Structure 1
Amino acid sequence: MRIALLYVLFCAVAIGVNIGSQALTLQLWPSGIWWSIIVGTATGLVVKYVLDKRFIFRFSPQNVKHDGTTFVLYTLMGVATTAIFWGFEYGAWLIFETASARYLGGVAGLVIGYLAKYHLDKMFVFRVTPSAP
């Protein structure tokens, strides 16, 4: 139960970072909707990786290269889930044409995507291989 609560908390933190980064990007570049989505995705990804690695999966990389390889795999697992997030966010924007709807669509897409991502990360990124006897 503790892991589930922490995961939900970290999702909320990453969502806040993502949406906040998007809002800041759009303040600086009002016509840059795609850039805001990319910036939000990148900042949310890094924050979520650090939190998941440390507190959810208790993963300690062997070295910087191992950490980098793990981050790449973590990112690849997020490609499909990012498509879900972007689809919901951009779909809400196309349908309602308001920033509020776009952000709400983004949050909905992130929640669905994070649920799928947890299972992918558990199976493929942070799996623990048994040590030899």
Structure 2
Amino acid sequence: MTRPGPVALGLRYVGFAVLATAANLLAQEATVRIAPWAPLLVSVVMGTGIGFVAKYGLDKYFVFFDASASRREEARKIGLYGLFSVVTTLVFWVFEFGFFALWGTSTAKYTGAILGLAVGYAVKYGLDRRFVFTGRAP
């Protein structure tokens, strides 16, 4: 399989960020509908978890073309990826909770979530390329 050029790779990364964002928001909405008594925190945690799993798989195989040599190496990568995800998730949550605190609506919450995820993913790409998927990063 030929690797895409920088523009195509960038579009792929953005497309995967959109897919992971959609998975995150759909999981949040599903959680709100299933557990309406605790929609905010529970929905945010569920959405974040689903988004993490989706984004890791897409990044690993289709952006960075990574093939870990061992379970230990894979565990290290997941750990670093997770650490960077926590940092960028804090950015995401500041936007999401901040918009909700300012305007108090679901629309504001989701708008903040989308903006926070966009900023977080931009920062995360640089961190992952530099520190996580170092052997095969394009």
Structure 2 residue matching 1:128: 3-state secondary structure: coil
Show CA shifts across 1:62-90 (max 9, x none): 23343232111101011211001001001
**Paired residues for 1:23-38 under 5 Å:** 23-32=29-38, 33-38=40-45
Query: Which of 16, 32, 48 pairs up with 1:10?
Result: 16
Say if 2:105 is the partner of 1:78: no
Amino acid paired to 1:25? T
Show CA shifts across 1:88-131 (max 9, x none): 001111111110110010000000000000000011100128xx
1:108 maps to 115
- The alignment-based identity, stated in percent, is 36
Amino acid paired to 1:41? T
After the TM superposition, which parts of structure 1 deviate over 4 Å for at least 4 consecutive aligned residues? none
- Structure 1 distance, partners of 2:36, 2:72, is 38
Show CA shifts across 1:40-80 (max 9, x none): 01100010000000011000012334323211110101121
TM-score of the aligned structures, taking structure 2 as reference length = 0.89
1:21 maps to 27
**Paired residues for 1:117-128 under 5 Å:** 117-128=124-135
2:3 maps to none
Structure 2 residue matching 1:127: 3-state secondary structure: coil
Structure 1 residue matching 2:86: 3-state secondary structure: helix
* Deviation (angstroms), 1:38: 0.7
- Structure 1 distance, partners of 2:100, 2:37, is 13
TM-score of the aligned structures, taking structure 1 as reference length = 0.93
Amino acid paired to 2:111? L
Greater alpha carbon shift after TM alignment, 55-64 vs 15-24: 55-64
Amino acid paired to 1:28? I
**Number of residue-to-residue matches in the alignment:** 129
